[in-house]
Structure 1
Amino acid sequence: MNTKLPTPAIVTQAAVRTLPRMWLWLLCLVYTCAGFVGRHPWKNEDMAAYGYMQALAQGHTPWLKPVLVGLPLEPAAQLLPVWLGAIALHMSPSWIDPEMAVRLPFMLLLLLCFACVWRATYYLAQRNEAQPVPFAFGGEARPIAYARAIADGSVLALIACFGLVQFSHETSATLVQLFGASLLFLAFAQPPGHALRTWLLTALAFFVLIFSGAFAWGYVVWALTIVGLARSMLTHKKPLLGTIAVYASAGLLVSVIARGLLDQPFWQWPYQWELHQASQWLSFFKLLIWFGWPAWPLACWAIYRWRAHIFKRQPSYHVFLPLCFIVVTVVLAASSGGSGRDRTLFLSLPMAATLAAFALPTMRRSVSSLIDWFTMLFFTISGVAIWVIWTATQTGFPAKPAANVAKLAPDYVPVFSLLSLVLALLATLVWLAVVVWRTGRHQAALWKSLVLPAGGATWCVILAMTLWLPMLDYGRSFAPQIEKIRPHIPADVQCIWAYGLNAAQRAAFSTQAQWPLQAPSEGSNCELSMVDAVQLKHYEPLLKAAGWTQLKRIERPTSDEAIVLFTYRHGANSGPALMDVSHLRGRSRH
């Protein structure tokens, strides 16, 4: 029996005091708002999703087959993110900026991810095999208080993860997939005796995963976990057949319904093993190191300390469940390429945070102190660097950081914002207060070792999204390129052909710049054509042969991406269209 195994957790009741709910959820709210509020849509997925949302909200494309200026949504199953944004645009009042309106449901999803992780860890920590060692004369942590402290630690560990920052603040399918993964994890973490709630959570998780393009990940995790449960039936005294039936029926039913709604198959296998060389393995391991930091060292420690509960015929569920999710996700991430590797690995962060939380009751004081000092130094140095670079852009001193910024972002003009400065100063004061609190000798809380990592990560995100926001917008949005193109676009232009533009470019030029971008079609003419420079070699001979002449090549200030404008050189005001075959030839860059 699991209850007879020796547990490595030694926790007193004094160590499981609850982190005040207000401070925990305020931290989650600040972390969420810091990455969403005040910025432009960034390339590529963030901007592309915004374009499809606008097309749906304006009634320019069908809801089941969204098209943006002639370019279909890819992958076609990622419908739920653009649906959420389009619905938000429909429901939002006129005084809310559309770019902010589409982010509101995604902000809610990120907060719900934190809530799902907290609740899943809370349920797992209440299991008998997860409880700490009972003391001979009492005084050990009570089960409910212990579960709450572990759950608080899991949320702090998730916020601290480096890999959470970027993708969790995109209005893209990746954040919706994270919510689906958290829901599925919560469904499997449900305590016995809640069949209906388990069924509903599993069904909702599969709906979210299927309609956000992560069906393959969800199906593999779901199937392997069910196999693990079936294996436990061989030795478990309580019958698990009913539990297995709940998980299996929910997943299969939603899959069948989704297949009926979608014309295209959503179960296509997106993974292919690509790690064939030593350099590729090295790159993957580097990604693992920084992406899950600091959760993965704690998770590894938890695996080591709870090894007697894992490597046996019937593993303890509170460590087996998150470990199963993590292993499957890492293997699938290794089978992905490009940004798909990061985005697949992103789905393992909630489970890594839960496993990291179970390391807390097993850590020695010296290890906890090492984590505190390393975290304090790392985030303090990072925050000071952000302040120094901002000061250099505003004053020119120190000269070297100012020169580096000028080299990376040519023609960038520094912008001063008093509100941003005040927010950055307040965040810095809070960070200093957290450091003073943590370095005191009176803290005995179980979650104390994760306060500095979570607080430092939030502090640096706030600094970057206040002090550096103009620079980040300049480097990652399409606004600077739009301003460079605008003088060459006549105010009374009727339409512009789009050749080889990816979804993000079409979204930026049609929604942000409000240019009448159109997909080339027979029977109509335009006076301007816009070509992605990457595909210029393919389109330039065809355009010139049809009577078009190159007008201007406009570079992005911070990259080698460029747009080439063509105008019709004959006496007529408009020229014929050529077929845009970039997406058919598989060359569009989404």
Structure 2
Amino acid sequence: MSIEMEHDWQAVFATPKPKIGERAKTNLLLLLSLLWVCFGLIGHTPWKPDELQTMSIVKHYVLGGHWAVPTLAGVPDIDNPPLYYLTAAFFTKLLSPLLPMHDAARIVTGLWMGLALTLVGMAGRELWGIGSGRQATLIFIGSIGLVFSAHMLTPDVAGLAGYAMAFYGLALAPRRAIRAGLLLGTGAGIAFFSKGVQPLEVILACALLLPLLFIHWRQRSYLGVLLIAAATASPWIAPWLLTLKHQFPALHEHWLTSAGLGNLSFLYFLKTLSWYAWPALPLAVWTLWRTKPDHASVELPLLFLLILLAVLGTSASSRDINALPMLLPIAMLATPAVETLRRSAASALDWFGLMLFGTFGFLIWLGWFAMMSGLPAKLAERMHKLSPTYTPGFSLVAFIFAALVTLVWVGVVFKTNKRSNRAVVTDWAVGMTMVWGLAMTLWLPWLDASKSYQGVFSGMRHAMPSTYSCIIGRDMGEGQRAALDYHIDVAVVQGKSSSAGNCNLYLIQDERDRAKVDLGPGWKLIWQGKRPSDRHESFRLFQRG
């Protein structure tokens, strides 16, 4: 590889030397990121829908299932390739018996998110200069739509890390061809091996269109970037596809045919971004308004965002979590606005964030106090109604962490330099960390008691006969089948008819026991139940005498 390939267009991305205090600011960002990532990773059972399905698949791998075929409750499920599940299974084995299986598996979510945050910062620094990487990361952390998904057991987190790595590779391409090719190929491979064809389409389209549309990537060295990326991505893609094709041809055919176009959902994603991407979205709009359209640092994230919207809007299901990768280019576009936003607008955005997070923080503390003391009585009654199985108990460790994170937020609010626009993104990031930290310390047992299936299905297990042939499941969702498999080792056979096969148990999921059931002679109801806080799902178990 020639020196020219390595150093072309260095001048385009030339940056000043670090200022005094940069290391201290970086260390504070690392501490904030660590707190943001760690809160909520352990201490609760899998929640529906994604976590339950993930844990059923991880359990399959821990018990020795074939690496190429994710299996949910005994049924192959290859909607997502197995990278995330395999890494979660590895940590489950590594940390057993120190942590429950779901907590050990969730550690890998923190590692994937840590990688994603690092790459977001590096991409922001590459596009906008030294110091901008911190701002990009703070904007990313402060995004309202990121915090819940980033702490869950879901392949989307690994897919996000792959997107971020590929994006950083594209940003680096005009200046460091070899490194950019390795990052681009590895990121594309990780994204594919976590989420399938869709991220590969986005990354490939962006990589090919950049030199066609924009002069900054129209260099001889860019062809080398693409060739290196192709060679680097192949080991992530080829083994799984070849294994499926030769060892599981039916699954391979199903995977190919299920990767087609879906419903048009552009409007859904645009509406979702209106709240999902705050505070990055208004900052990104300001950047587009103020910056010349041919600026290299605008061209890449804008193209990446438009391609994402085109692909997601035609092939993805309408779920909020599918908008997760859009936060990456929006945060990149929002980064320079931190310096150029008018003081009046910056102050308004800052005060909105302070009021928002201050209100949520106060309500979380108030709800916790009501659960512990019974005062105010109406609020305590409401909290109990929403999670009837929760028994209040004081945890000194949770209280200390909650108090500390609250004091840190108060200190940041009063200590940050309000004359600087950077206070906006700092306050948002710290505020988001504070609210999430309070929810995952003070309210975590209450939330877990409300959202967990462990109690209801444990009751079903006690009511089941010691021996049975099999269980027919009627109208069972994937999350519920996964919960049965993970919590009580029960697999159901989907079916409508009670006469299917030789099964002598029949489990029905419906809404509030409203479905009329006529199973014929010989069947009797032996158990019924639901999560106490659930207003919709209920379960009934019948046995053939």
* Same topology, TM > 0.5: yes
Select between 292-301 and 517-526 the one with higher mean Cα deviation. Answer: 517-526
Q: Which residue of 1 aligns with 2:30?
A: 25
Q: Which residue of 1 aligns with 2:262?
A: 272
* 1:393 Cα deviation after fit: 2.4
Q: Which residue of 2 aligns with 1:384?
A: 362
Q: Which residue of 2 aligns with 1:365?
A: 343
Corresponding residue to 2:71 among 64, 67, 71: 67
1:433 aligns with 2:418: no
Equivalent-residue separation in structure 2 for 1:236 and 1:203 (angstroms) = 19
SS at 1:148 equivalent: coil
Q: Which residue of 2 aligns with 1:405?
A: 383
Q: Which residue of 2 aligns with 1:163?
A: 145
Cα offsets for 1:282-330 (capped at 9, x unmatched): x654422110001111111111111x2x2xxxx3321111111222223
* 1:535 Cα deviation after fit: 13
Corresponding letter in the other structure for 2:414? V
Corresponding residue to 1:502 among 477, 502, 511: 477
* 1:13 Cα deviation after fit: 8.6
1:218 aligns with 2:200: yes
* 1:511 Cα deviation after fit: 2.7
1:329 aligns with 2:287: no
* 1:568 Cα deviation after fit: 2.1
Equivalent-residue separation in structure 2 for 1:62 and 1:537 (angstroms) = 40
CA spacing shift, 1:459–1:495, aligned 2, 3 Å? farther
* 1:372 Cα deviation after fit: 2.0
CA spacing shift, 1:455–1:358, aligned 2, 3 Å? same
Select between 525-534 and 286-295 the one with higher mean Cα deviation. Answer: 525-534
Counting only pairs closer than 5 Å after superposition, residues 123-522 of structure 1 correspond to structure 2 as 123-125=126-128, 147-192=129-174, 194-232=176-214, 240-247=222-229, 255-256=237-238, 258-263=240-245, 264=252, 268-269=258-259, 271-275=261-265, 281=267, 284-306=269-291, 308=292, 310=293, 315-335=294-314, 340-438=318-416, 447-490=422-465, 492-493=466-467, 497-500=471-474, 501-512=476-487, 514-517=488-491, 519=493
1:46 aligns with 2:22: no
Q: Which residue of 2 aligns with 1:144?
A: none
SS at 2:289 equivalent: helix
Equivalent-residue separation in structure 2 for 1:121 and 1:235 (angstroms) = 18
Q: Which residue of 2 aligns with 1:583?
A: none
Cα offsets for 1:69-95 (capped at 9, x unmatched): 3322151x4311211122222333422
SS at 1:416 equivalent: coil
* 1:355 Cα deviation after fit: 1.5
Equivalent-residue separation in structure 2 for 1:222 and 1:532 (angstroms) = 43
Cα offsets for 1:343-395 (capped at 9, x unmatched): 22111112221211121221233332222222111110111111112222222
Equivalent-residue separation in structure 1 for 2:67 and 2:230 (angstroms) = 29
SS at 1:103 equivalent: helix
Q: Which residue of 2 aligns with 1:89?
A: 92
CA spacing shift, 1:232–1:406, aligned 2, 3 Å? same
Q: Is the 8 A contact 1:493 1:527 kept in 2?
A: no
Corresponding letter in the other structure for 1:533? D
Select between 405-414 and 82-91 the one with higher mean Cα deviation. Answer: 405-414
Q: Is the 8 A contact 1:46 1:171 kept in 2?
A: yes
Corresponding letter in the other structure for 1:62? H
Equivalent-residue separation in structure 1 for 2:330 and 2:24 (angstroms) = 20
1:566 aligns with 2:545: no
Cα offsets for 1:113-135 (capped at 9, x unmatched): 0011111111222xxxxxxxxxx
Corresponding letter in the other structure for 1:104? I
Q: Which residue of 2 aligns with 1:118?
A: 121
1:530 aligns with 2:512: no
CA spacing shift, 1:101–1:495, aligned 2, 3 Å? farther
Corresponding letter in the other structure for 2:76? P
Cα offsets for 1:442-475 (capped at 9, x unmatched): xx5x733211000000000011111111221122
The alignment of Structure 1 onto Structure 2 pairs a total of residues equal to: 523
SS at 1:188 equivalent: helix
CA spacing shift, 1:409–1:241, aligned 2, 3 Å? same
Higher relative CO (Cα under 8 Å, sequence separation at least 6) belongs to 1
TM-score relative to the length of structure 2: 0.85
* 1:404 Cα deviation after fit: 3.1
SS at 2:40 equivalent: helix
Equivalent-residue separation in structure 1 for 2:385 and 2:97 (angstroms) = 40
Corresponding letter in the other structure for 1:567? Q
CA spacing shift, 1:89–1:236, aligned 2, 3 Å? closer
Equivalent-residue separation in structure 2 for 1:384 and 1:15 (angstroms) = 37
Corresponding letter in the other structure for 2:337? A
Corresponding letter in the other structure for 1:422? I
Corresponding letter in the other structure for 2:127? L
CA spacing shift, 1:320–1:432, aligned 2, 3 Å? same
Q: Is the 8 A contact 1:229 1:244 kept in 2?
A: no
CA spacing shift, 1:260–1:233, aligned 2, 3 Å? farther
SS at 2:98 equivalent: coil
TM-score relative to the length of structure 1: 0.79
Corresponding letter in the other structure for 2:471? W
Q: Which residue of 1 aligns with 2:5?
A: none
Q: Which residue of 2 aligns with 1:133?
A: none
CA spacing shift, 1:91–1:409, aligned 2, 3 Å? closer
SS at 1:413 equivalent: coil
* 1:45 Cα deviation after fit: 0.9
Q: Is the 8 A contact 1:528 1:565 kept in 2?
A: yes
SS at 2:416 equivalent: helix
Corresponding letter in the other structure for 2:132? I
RMSD: 3.5
Q: Which residue of 2 aligns with 1:579?
A: none
Equivalent-residue separation in structure 2 for 1:58 and 1:235 (angstroms) = 48
Equivalent-residue separation in structure 2 for 1:16 and 1:504 (angstroms) = 49
Corresponding letter in the other structure for 2:202? V
CA spacing shift, 1:12–1:452, aligned 2, 3 Å? farther
Q: Is the 8 A contact 1:334 1:341 kept in 2?
A: no
* 1:48 Cα deviation after fit: 1.1
* 1:250 Cα deviation after fit: 5.1
- The answer for unaligned runs of 5 or more in structure 2 is 1-8, 246-251
- The answer for unaligned runs of 5 or more in structure 1 is 126-146, 570-590
Corresponding letter in the other structure for 2:157? L
Equivalent-residue separation in structure 2 for 1:378 and 1:463 (angstroms) = 14
Q: Is the 8 A contact 1:495 1:517 kept in 2?
A: no
Cα offsets for 1:48-75 (capped at 9, x unmatched): 111111111112x322223333322151
SS at 1:473 equivalent: helix
Corresponding letter in the other structure for 1:322? P
Equivalent-residue separation in structure 1 for 2:383 and 2:105 (angstroms) = 31
CA spacing shift, 1:479–1:4, aligned 2, 3 Å? closer
Q: Which residue of 2 aligns with 1:101?
A: 104
Equivalent-residue separation in structure 1 for 2:83 and 2:513 (angstroms) = 34
Equivalent-residue separation in structure 1 for 2:520 and 2:165 (angstroms) = 54
